[in-house]
Amino acid sequence: MKKVILLLCSIMLSAGIAFADGCFIAKENGKVLQSEGDPEKRYAPMSTFKITLSLIGFDSGILIDEMHPVWPFKEGYVDWREVWKQDQTPKSWMKESCVWYSQVLTKQLGMENFKKYVTKFDYGNKDLSGDKGQNNGLTNAWLSSSLQISSAEQVAFLQKMLAGKLPVKLHAVTMTKNILFVEELKNGWKFYGKTGKGSLLNAFGVKNPDLYHGWFIGWIEKGDRRIIFSNHIEDDKKEEIGASQRAKLDAKEKMTKIIDRIEGNK
């Protein structure tokens, strides 16, 4: 399956990455290096919210380090992907984007503490009510539900996190950074980030099973330079490759071009 995805991804790159609408922002020290689309339009954060949950988890002591705690899969947990049906650590949770690990974390945290953190972080619209009439905000608010955030807000949140301006311990930021590392790009630039994918909602808040939006947010850094970005795409037709993977590929391509530009095409 992975080989098929890689093949499709290579085809996408050669043909151009497909999506109907999108928003991309890249900033360095608050200065906009590139901006496309509407940065104020809000969407559900989906799995990009794992960055927030990681900070909360490590700050509260529920999470310990990259490899602890190890939580076992149990019947009844969300198991959309085969890889989720096994023990997970904070590192594998982030890498495999495991939904149930997030939900175990928030259940241990409790709604009162959850609300306090999201309010202190000033995260998006701060709405943790969840789906209407479902009373599921503690486990689902960020999943095509009540919690919404814009591209501009995603970048601002990452800026605060990396500048040490969020009310969390340094350990929480350090551990979160560690588990967000993706790969090294050209010329020694390190690439960090998190995907997110969810169903698009119609005017009545009903999910469309065939149309998705995708996020990839993060930053690149080298030495004392750091460029923070948010990439969001929105589909208007069914696509073969998931929206989050296309958002990630598109972000990597854009950030590589920015590296070329600022380093004079070295």
In a domain, 66, yes or no: yes
The pLDDT tens digits of the residues spanning 174-205 come to 999 999 999 999 999 999 999 999 998 777 77
| pLDDT for res 2 | 45
| pLDDT for res 5 | 44
In a domain, 131, yes or no: yes
In a domain, 6, yes or no: no
As beta bridge partners, residue 68 has 65
| pLDDT for res 222 | 98
In a domain, 3, yes or no: no
Query: Which H or E run contains 128?
Result: none
In a domain, 2, yes or no: no
Residues of the chain scoring pLDDT < 70: 1-20, 265-266
In a domain, 34, yes or no: yes
| pLDDT for res 13 | 44
> 47 catalytic, yes or no?
yes
| pLDDT for res 1 | 45
Cβ 46 vs Cβ 53: under 8 Å? no
| pLDDT for res 17 | 57
Q: What is the span of the domain harbouring residue 67?
A: 19-262
3-state secondary structure of 149: strand
In a domain, 14, yes or no: no
Q: What is the CATH number of the domain that holds 149?
A: 3.40.710.10
Give CA–CA dist 217/26, Å, rounded: 10
State the catalytic residue, choosing from 10, 14, 47, 146: 47
pTM for the model stands at: 0.92
Give CA–CA dist 232/246, Å, rounded: 10
When divided into structural domains, the chain yields a total of 1
